[in-house]
Structure 1
Amino acid sequence: MSGFSDEQLAAIRAQFPALAAADSPTSPTSGYIFAENAGGSQVLLSVAEAISSYLLTTNVQMASYALASRAESRVSHGACAAAALLGAESPDDVMLGQSATQLVFSLSMMLETRVLADRAAGAEGAWQEGDEIIISDADHETNRGAWTRLATRLGLKLKHWPVTRVSNSESKYAVTLDPKVLETLVTSHTRVVAFTACSNLLGAFTDIGSATQVVRKVAKDALVCVDCVAFAPHRRITPRSWDVDVAFFSLYKTYGAHVGAMYVDPRVKETQLARLNHFFLHTPHAPPGMYPFQTSSVQYELNYSIAAVADYLVSLGTAKQVPSKVDWNALFGRASSEGELTALSRSEVDDALDAAYARVAAHETTLLQVIMPVLLKWADKGLRIVGPEDASSDARAPTIAFVLVDAQGNHRVGTSKAIHQALVRSAIGAQQGHMYAHKLVSSLGLDLADGVIRLSFVHYNSADEVRRTADLLTAIFQTLV
C-alpha cells in the first residue's frame, strides 16, 4: 500500500483549519510545523462543526419527544462510531468519558467495588491480599497511576515490567517492552496486566499478541488493559483479535475533541465490574451498555463529534477527498434520525479502516526515513535516540525522543531545554520533558526536569516539514555539540 501523493496530502491538510492556516502565506501562523502531535493532534473542521451543530440545534436532555429523540440518536451515532474505531462487537461494550485517565480511574473503581463485595461475601475466586498487578515502565501515567493506587488500597502486590535494550543496539537508551520479560513476572496470582500498545515517548510498538499469550498461558482470567492513546493515530485498534479485555484511546490525539473511548470485554463487565451509577440503575431493568457502570452521564456534543473522526478515517481508506457521512447507528442495527448518511456494512468499514492505516504506515515510513538518519549522524557527538533506532514504521511510530549525553554516556542536563527553545523560536511545535512517562525517564537515569526532546509527526505532516525540521536540528547541533 502506498502513502499519500502531494495532491492527496494537500486535500488532507485542507480539512484541518490549523494546517490550512500554516499552509497559507498570509496567515499569522504561515509555515508553522505541528510536530507535537503525540501531545494533542490538530482537530478536523468537521469535528468542530459537529460540536457546534449539536449545541446549537439539539442541546436538550434525553426524553420522549421529537427533538430529544434526535439528540439521543446523535449521541448514539457517536458511540457507534467509537465502537467501530475500537473494533467492538457492540456499542454496549464501549465506555466514553472526559479523558483516557478518567476512564482508567473509573475502571479501577468498578473493579475495587466488585472485589470488596466479593471479599465480603466470601465469593469463590475473589481477589485476595497478595495477588498481583503488573504495570509497564514504558507507560504514560494514565495506565500506571490508577493501578498503583488500586494495589495499595486492596493490598495487592505491584510488579513492574521494565524496558530492555533492543538487541541490535549498543545504546542503553534504545529500549522497548519485550514480552519475554513478562514471562518472568506473570504468575497464577496475577489479576491485572497493564501496558501500552505504543509508548508516547519511545515511539515503539509493543507486540500485543505475544504479550497477551504470555499472560493467558499462566493467568488466563487476568484482566489485560492496553493503553492505545499513542497507538491510535498510527495503527488500528483491534482488541478482540489481540485477546485483550480493555483497550482505550483519546480522541483529542486522534484528530478529534477532548473525549476518551474505552472498549471493555462484555465478560469482564459482567463478572468483574460493579455498577457505579445511581442506585436505581443497578437493577436488571437498567439500560444496556456501560452507562449503569459509569459514574455519570456522557458529554453529548463531544460524543456526537466522534462520528466525524470515524468518517474522516474511513475516507482515508477509500481515498475520498471529501468524507462521506457514514450511518454509524445503522452499522449496529440502530435507528438514525440524521439525513443523507451513507450505509456501509461492517466489512466495508473494516476494509476502509485497514486501508487507511496501511496508507498511514506507508507515509510514516517516508517521514521516518527523512528524520532518523539525520539524528543518527550525530551519535558520535553524543546524540541518543530514546527508543528504537529503526526507521521502519513496522517497529515504531514517527514519535521520536532524543537526548544529548557526555563522553561517559550521562545526560547533559539543560541541553534538552536549549534544543527545545531553539525549535519553538523557529515555529516548530515540539515538546521537552518527561511526557508523563515519569517512571520511564527516571529508569533511564535522565534528569526529570530536562527530560527528552520529543518530535511527533502524524500522517498529515509532509516530508518537506520533516526535512525542514531536520535541517534546523542540524544547525542547532552544530552550535551545541
Structure 2
Amino acid sequence: MGFEVAAVRARFPALADGRAWLDGAAGTQVPESVIDAVTDVYRSGLGNQGAAFATSHRLGGLVADARRAVADLVGAPDPAGVVFGPSTTALTYRFAGALAAGWRPGDEVVLTELDHEANVGPWARAAERAGAVVRMAPLDRLSGTLRTETVAGLLNHRTRLVAVTAASNLLGTMPDVPAIAAAAREVGAVTYVDGAHHCPHAVVDLPALGADLYVTSAYKWYGPHLAAVVAREPGLLDGLAVDNLRPVTGTARFELGTNPFPALAGVAAAVDHLAGLVEGPGARRERLARSMAGVVRHERGLAGALLAGLRDVPGLSFLPGWEEPAGRRAPTVSFRLAGWSPAELAGELDRAGVNAWHGTAYALGAAEALGIAGSGGAVRASVNLYNDSSDVSRLVEAVRKCATGRGPG
C-alpha cells in the first residue's frame, strides 16, 4: 500500500512556493497539523508541570504524550526511555558526559569515519577528559560503506562505547547496526546509534536494531526543532549520573529546565501525521509501520529515478555509496560536477528553483577520508516523502544544463 503524494504535499504550506525542496537531510518542512498543534498550546495557555490547576495537568499530559509518540515511532518498549533535548548534538554531549563518568584511563571508545561530527566530537572530547583511548573505524573509500568486520575488529574487553550512525547523511549508506550492536554487546560495550538520517527513511524497530541508545531529530521527520534519545531498556538510564537540580527525578533528570511544551505537542502531531499517511486500522505503532513502509517505497523510487537521471550527465561524479542496493542506503545522493565548485552548482540549482545542500554536511570524517573536505565537499540532494517526480526532473535538468555550459536561466 502507498499514499497519494499530491494529497500529502497539500498538507505542507511551505511547498506552496513552487520550489523543489530536496534538502530534507538538513531539515524537513512541517505539515499544517504540526503547526496547529504548536500554536494551539500557546492559545490554550501556558504554565508549568506539577501544579494543582488544569493547565498544569494539560501540559504534563503533553510531555507524556510526546514520550509515547516517540516510543511508538522507533518501536521502543517503554516511553520511560525517551529523553528530550534541543538537538542531537546537545543530547549527545549530555550522554557523553554521563557515560564518560564511568570511564577510566586505558578504556576505549570506538567511533567511525562515516559519522556526522555530532556523533564523533562529543565522544572524543569526553574520552580525552577521562583518559580513554579513541579508536576510529575507517570507512571503505571505494564503496562508501562501513564494514561490520572493521568495527568488530576494534572491539575488546576495554571497549566501553561504540558510537555509529544508522545512515550516513552525506553518502546515504547504512551500516549493519544489528551486527555491530551484537558485537559490542559481546564485549560489554554500550552502543549509541545516530538515527537522525535513518529515522525518516526506515521502519525503525529499536529492539531489532539492537542499539542501547538511539538518537533522532524531530525536525528531520516533519516536526519541530527538538530531538530525543531513546533507551532500548530504560534501566540503562537509571545507572547514569547526570547533573540536575535536586527535585528532578526519573527520565527528566536528563532534561535541563522547563520542557518546551509547544514543541513537544508538535512532536506528537508529527508522529500522528506519519501514522496516518497510509489508511488502515490498528494501534499507532502498527499504523506507523504500515505508513513508513509506504514512505520507504516512495522515496526509493524517487531516489532511483534521481540516480538514473544523473548517471549520464557529462562530468558528473557521485560520491561512493550510490551503487549500494536501495535497502542499504537512504534516499540521499551526493555528487560533484567538473568545472563547478559545489557552492557554485548549488547556487545555480537555487536559481532553477531547487533547494539542495552543499558542503560536507558536518560529516567531516567521511569528507576527509574521500579527499573532498578542502575543496567544497559535494552537492547533496535528499528525497523525502513530500517530494515527487517533478522535483527530481527539475534538479536533473538544471544539472544537465550546467554540465553542457548553459545556465538554468
Instruction: Specify the TM-score bucket, using the shorter chain as the normaliser.
Output: over 0.9
Distance 1:183 1:275, change over 3 A: closer
Which SS does the other structure have where 1:369 is aligned? helix
- In 2, Cα distance between the equivalents of 1:112 and 1:177? 25
For the 8 Å contact 2:110–2:162, the answer to whether it is kept is: yes
- Structure 2 residues not aligned, in runs of 5+: none
3-state SS, counterpart of residue 368 of structure 1: helix
Conservation of the 8 A alpha-carbon contact between 1:368 and 1:392: no
Shift of 1:382: 4.2
Cα RMSD for the two superposed structures:
2.0
Alignment match of 1:260 (pick from 220, 227, 234): 227
Identity between Structure 1 and Structure 2 (%): 30
Indicate the larger mover: 74-83 or 390-399: 390-399
Q: Distance in 2 between matches of 1:71 and 1:294?
A: 16
Q: Counterpart of 1:465 in structure 2: which amino acid?
A: D
What does residue 269 of structure 1 align with? Answer: 237
Task: For 1:187, give the aligned amino acid.
Answer: N
Q: Which ranges of structure 1 fall in alignment gaps of 5 or more residues?
A: 22-28, 116-126, 166-171, 320-343, 406-411
Question: C-alpha deviations, 1:1-26, integer Å up to 9, x for none?
Answer: x544xxx111101111112x1xxxxx
Structure 1-normalised TM-score? 0.80
Change (3 A) 1:164 1:444: same
In the alignment, residue 97 of structure 1 is paired with which amino acid? G
Which structure 2 residues correspond to residues 195-210 of structure 1 after superposition, within 5 A?
A: 195-210=164-179
1:454 aligned residue (364, 373, 380): 380
Moved over 4 A (4+): none
| Cα deviation code 1:119-175 (max 9, x no counterpart) | xxxxxxxx321111111111111111110100110000001111114xxxxxx3x41
1:20-69 CA distances to partner (integer Å, 9 max, x unpaired)?
x1xxxxxxx2x311010100101111111111111121311121112211
Cross-structure match for 2:11: 15
Q: Which residue of 2 aligns with 1:389?
A: 322
Which structure would you say has the larger RCO, counting Cα contacts within 8 Å and 6 or more residues apart?
Answer: 2
SS at match of 1:279: coil
- Check conservation: 2:100, 2:127, Cα contact below 8 A: no
Task: Please state whether the residue corresponding to 2:327 is helix, strand or coil.
Answer: coil
Query: Which residue does 2:46 correspond to in 1?
Result: 59
Name the CA distance, whole Å, in 1 between partners of 2:43 and 2:84: 22
1:417 correspondence with 2:343: yes
Q: 1:464 is matched with which residue: 372, 390, 399?
A: 390
SS of 2:59's equivalent? helix
Q: Distance in 2 between matches of 1:44 and 1:35?
A: 16
Using the TM superposition, give the Cα deviation of residue 450 of structure 1 relative to its aligned residue in structure 2, in angstroms. Answer: 1.1
Q: What is the alpha-carbon distance in structure 2 between the residues aligned to residue 52 and residue 458 of structure 1?
A: 25
Following TM superposition, by how much is the alpha carbon of 1:239 offset from its aligned partner in structure 2, in angstroms? Answer: 2.0
Cα distance in 2 for partners of 1:196, 1:437 equals: 11
Partner SS, residue 381 of structure 2 = strand
1:26-425 equivalences in 2 (<5 Å): 29=17, 31-62=18-49, 63-113=51-101, 115=102, 127-165=103-141, 172=142, 174-217=143-186, 219=187, 221-264=188-231, 265-271=233-239, 273-281=240-248, 286=249, 288=250, 290-318=251-279, 348-378=283-313, 381-390=314-323, 392-404=325-337, 415-425=341-351
Whole-Å Cα distance in 1 between the matches of residues 228 and 254 of structure 2? Answer: 14
Q: Counterparts of 2:254 and 2:216 in 1: how far apart (Å)? A: 19
Please say which structure displays the higher CA radius of gyration: 1
- TM, length-normalised to structure 2: 0.94
What secondary structure sits across from 2:277 in the alignment? helix
Q: Give the deviation of 1:280 after TM superposition.
A: 3.6
**Once the 2 structures are TM-superposed, how far is the Cα of residue 385 of structure 1 from its aligned partner?**
1.4
| Distance in 1 between residues matched to 2:260 and 2:97, nearest whole Å | 20
1:441 aligns with 2:376: no
Q: Distance in 2 between matches of 1:41 and 1:79?
A: 21
In terms of mean alpha carbon deviation, does 441-450 or 200-209 score higher? 441-450
1:79 and 1:267 map into 2 onto residues whose CA distance is 16
